[in-house]
Amino acid sequence: MKILVVEDSRSSLAILTKYVEHFGATAIPADNGEMAIELFSRNRPDLVLLDIVLPDIDGFVVAQRIRAMEKPGDWAPIIFLSSLGDDADIEKGIAAGADDYLHKPVSEIVLGAKIRAMQRIVLMRASLIAVTRKLDAANQELIRIASSDGLTGVANRRYFDEALSIEWRRARRHSNSISLLMCDVDYFKLYNDTYGHQAGDECLRKIAAALSRHTERPSDTVARYGGEEFAVILPETSIGGALMVAEKIRHAIQELNITHASSPTRQVALSIGIAAAAPGFDNPPDDLILAADKALYRAKKEGRDRVCRADAT
């Protein structure tokens, strides 16, 4: 344990240093405020014993500057030492960042008891921080699990609904366009019937990974919409931009070259319907989903393995 001892009287500093060393800690002596701040910055002690009356800046200022140097989550207890003992001084010290107060001259027994008490507080605080961090990590993992599709690892339907609502409101605030891709694996039931559900699951995982690779912006969202259907939210994207992304995705699925003997194309392919909108107060996001769904239906009706736009006639 490192303890910064700040005392302007050389004799008092020597006595306090001896007390600290008797306690089994390492003493870091300083006889003025500026030196104390420099030593605190350099050594990051576990505890500070701080005289209020110093030759340059007083202990109140030193305490404030020490607290200003600490990063979030850091804390070194500060115990003020002073022959001043009225309530106003104690209140001022606590307000400056101190945690306790000892009257001078300091008893070695009392100082040892104070140090042990502060040690217990530091250990309890460290344990609490560790538990809090574990809880935060566990909560983040629960959020990730709750928002992810268990099979493919992309966002699930619940997350898709929330993300679309958020992006819709953001687009409305900034008068931006938002696009949506609805993607369906062609003849997927036949694929499952031919190769089995385990192969079907692996196929969906590969398609989800390809979709994720080809939607590179952090704001884009790939979600499993249901069964063999995927959805891609493209914020700040026009219908033309969505068309480029959709064709890139369709070709990426072709390049996976997943054999599908029961399909006319002899390999797994994707049909994609795209729609774009400039959100207003009278057109809900459901309208965008409906438009993209209709475009997807037309893509499948016209022969599959293609992209259809909602605004095409």
pLDDT tens per residue, range 223-237? 999 999 999 999 999
Strands (E) in 38-161, as ranges, are: 47-51, 78-82, 100-103
- Average pLDDT of the residues in 97-124: 84
Q: What is the pLDDT of residue 259?
A: 95
Residue 163 sits in the same domain as residue 110: no
How many C-alpha atoms does 152 have within 13 Å on its Cβ side?
28
Grade residue 109 by pLDDT with cuts at 50, 70 and 90.
confident
What CATH number has the domain bearing residue 273?
Answer: 3.30.70.270
pLDDT at 215 over 90: no
Known active-site residue 228: yes
Question: Which among 21, 228, 236, 247 is annotated as catalytic?
Answer: 228
What mean pLDDT value characterizes the chain?
89
The verdict on residue 278 lying in a domain is yes
The verdict on residue 136 lying in a domain is no
The verdict on residue 140 lying in a domain is no
What CATH number has the domain bearing residue 125?
Answer: 3.40.50.2300
Q: Which helix (H) or strand (E) covers residue 298, if one does?
A: helix 285-301
The verdict on residue 143 lying in a domain is no
Cis before 72? omega within 30: no
Q: What is the pLDDT of residue 84?
A: 65
Token couple for 164: 């679309």
Percent of the chain whose pLDDT exceeds 70: 98
Q: What is the pLDDT of residue 85?
A: 62
DSSP string, 4-40: EEE-SSHHHHHHHHHHHHHTTPEEEEESSHHHHHHHH
Grade residue 313 by pLDDT with cuts at 50, 70 and 90.
very low
pLDDT tens-digit readout, 112-154 = 888 888 888 878 877 887 888 888 888 877 877 788 998 999 9
The verdict on residue 145 lying in a domain is no
CB 189 within 8 A of CB 263: no
Which domain does 84 fall in, by range?
2-129
Q: What is the pLDDT of residue 72?
A: 80
The verdict on residue 148 lying in a domain is no
Residue 104 sits in the same domain as residue 172: no
User: What's the CA angle centered on 190, arms 187 and 191, to 5 degrees?
Assistant: 85
The verdict on residue 248 lying in a domain is yes
Please tell me the total count of domains within the chain: 2
Other C-beta atoms closer than 10 Å to the C-beta of 119 total 16
pLDDT tens-digit readout, 252-270 = 999 999 999 999 989 999 9
Residue 172 sits in the same domain as residue 298: yes
Other C-beta atoms closer than 10 Å to the C-beta of 52 total 22
Residue 10 sits in the same domain as residue 115: yes
Residue 15 sits in the same domain as residue 56: yes
- Domain finish residue from 129, 145, 168: 129
The verdict on residue 139 lying in a domain is no
